[in-house]
Structure 1
Amino acid sequence: MPSIVGPLKINSIDGGVVNFGDSFYLSPKSTSKTASGSGAFNTGDFICTNTFVSSTNPFDPDFQDQVQIGNA
């Protein structure tokens, strides 16, 4: 059934889905890119990484990596 939603103000949404009324299909979308060196995201106790020489090249010649608009 259709629903009527009154005045509404959302200041910010951080990584969630807001649903008002009836919905058939919800598909939250987000894109991000991170450039990091070898062994940078290791977490835990007693980590031993042997990377010796590590080089990260953050240069990306692409205009767009992943299109978010119209990606239903």
Structure 2
Amino acid sequence: MPAIVGAVKVNSISASSIFNIGDVYSMNPDSSAKTYAGGGSFNTGDGIRVNLNHSNTYVYDKDKIDQPVT
């Protein structure tokens, strides 16, 4: 059944949101991200001590696509 929509004012829409007016069957937002982090980057807790004397994080990715979002 068709939807009847009155006046709509949109102040802002963020990059990861969906805006729809009217009928919709399915809405599927997709996003992807690649995160580079060195040793000890995602440690959480109290009193953590990480000693990384010669740590390197290599960010070169020759194929540029790891898992495509379709």
TM-score range, shorter chain: 0.5 to 0.7
One-letter identity of the residue aligned with 1:25: S
- The 8 Å contact of residues 13 and 19 in structure 2, kept in 1 or not, is answered as no
Written as runs of structure 1 = structure 2, the 5 A alignment for 1:1-72 is 1-5=1-5, 11-49=12-50, 51=52, 53-68=54-69, 71=70
Write the letter of the residue equivalent to 1:2.
P
Range with greater deviation from structure 2 (6-15 or 18-27): 6-15
Calculate the TM-score normalised by the size of structure 2.
0.60
Number of positions where the alignment pairs a residue of Structure 1 with one of Structure 2: 69
TM-score between both structures, scaled by the size of structure 1: 0.59
Question: Computing the radius of gyration over CA atoms, which structure comes out larger, 1 or 2?
Answer: 2
Quick one: which amino acid aligns to residue 56 of structure 1?
T
Unaligned runs of 5+ in 1: none
- What secondary structure, in the 3-state scheme, does the structure 2 residue paired with 1:32 have? coil
Deviation of 1:22 (Å): 2.6
Report sequence identity in percent. Answer: 38
Q: 1:60 Cα shift?
A: 0.4
Matched AA of 2:14? I
